[in-house]
């Protein structure tokens, strides 16, 4: 990480920012600043090169055609893969999650290569679309409270041997494979289907990214009463509709 500031990169907001996913960048930035950290926020449009010196990269969801365009440009650019090689933390949502895998089905019905940063492959589901509130238990190694979010996807994501599920669902579909997994991660690259935006519902995930980027075990506590009220509301909604 740079000595002067934490570099937070929001990737392709012009293509990948459905369901308020840009809120994830706002939450990470705010929680860093509340702890006295200097943050340099960089929004990278799809016609701009992806910087390789960022500390945290965030990618949102998008519709099928923008997802294909984003994947094509990210492959051609190569900056995100180089950033990952430099040890950057990458967190992706929905379409962004699929892009970080090895391949997904694009809007033309063809297999589209991804970036290979997470050992997953995404296909097109044959059943009903996965829509609704989700409640899931995040991998124990992170010590985080249950994950709450909103899913809306037709894709089904299969984990390869080196990927670990980010969470296990109590209610909802998650990866859509029927095995109870939700999201995945490899090393410092994370993916999830959760919108919400997911950081507003789960600010502890934003804190996890900060701790990984800063290479620390703990951060100063914050007043999370607003976040906890939102979490309680959405968890109650997921429970009632399950």
User: Among all residues, which ones are annotated catalytic?
Assistant: 94, 195
Length of the chain counted residue by residue: 242
Work out the burial of residue 18: count CB atoms within 10 Å of its CB; fewer than 13 is exposed, 13-18 middle, 19 or more buried: middle
Contact 71, 96 (CB under 8 A): no
E strand residue ranges, 83-128 = 89-93, 103-105, 111-113, 120-124
Tokens representing residue 203 in the block: 């600010």
Helices (H), the chain: 23-34, 64-77, 79-85, 95-100, 198-201, 203-214, 225-241
129 in a known ligand binding site:
yes
- Quote the CA–CA distance of 43 and 1 in Å, as a whole number: 18
Cβ burial 139-167 (10 Å sphere, 16+ → b, else e): beeeebeebbbbbebbbbbbbeeebebbb
Per the annotation, binding residues are 129
Give binding residues for substrate as ranges.
129
């Amino acid at each position: 990480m740079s000595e002067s500031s934490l570099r937070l990169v929001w990737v392709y907001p012009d293509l990948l920012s459905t369901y308020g996913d840009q809120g994830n960048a706002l939450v990470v930035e705010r929680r860093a600043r509340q702890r006295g950290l200097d943050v340099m926020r960089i929004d990278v449009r799809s016609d701009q090169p992806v910087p390789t010196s960022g500390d945290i990269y965030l990618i949102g969801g998008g519709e099928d055609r923008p997802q294909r365009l984003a994947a094509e440009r990210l492959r051609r650019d190569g900056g995100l893969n180089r950033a990952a090689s430099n040890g950057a933390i990458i967190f992706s949502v929905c379409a962004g999650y699929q892009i970080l895998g090895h391949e997904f089905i694009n809007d033309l019905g063809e297999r589209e290569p991804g970036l290979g940063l997470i050992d997953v492959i995404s296909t097109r589901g044959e059943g009903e679309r996965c829509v609704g509130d989700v409640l899931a238990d995040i991998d124990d190694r992170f010590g985080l409270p249950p994950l709450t979010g909103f899913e809306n996807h037709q894709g089904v994501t299969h984990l390869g041997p080196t990927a670990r599920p980010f969470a296990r669902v109590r209610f909802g579909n998650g990866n859509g494979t029927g095995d109870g997994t939700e999201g995945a991660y490899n090393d410092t690259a994370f993916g999830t289907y959760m919108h919400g935006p997911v950081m507003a519902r789960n600010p502890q995930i934003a804190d996890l990214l900060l701790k990984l980027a800063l290479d620390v075990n703990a951060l100063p506590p914050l007043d999370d009463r607003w976040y906890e009220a939102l979490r309680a509301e959405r968890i109650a909604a997921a429970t009632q509709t399950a």
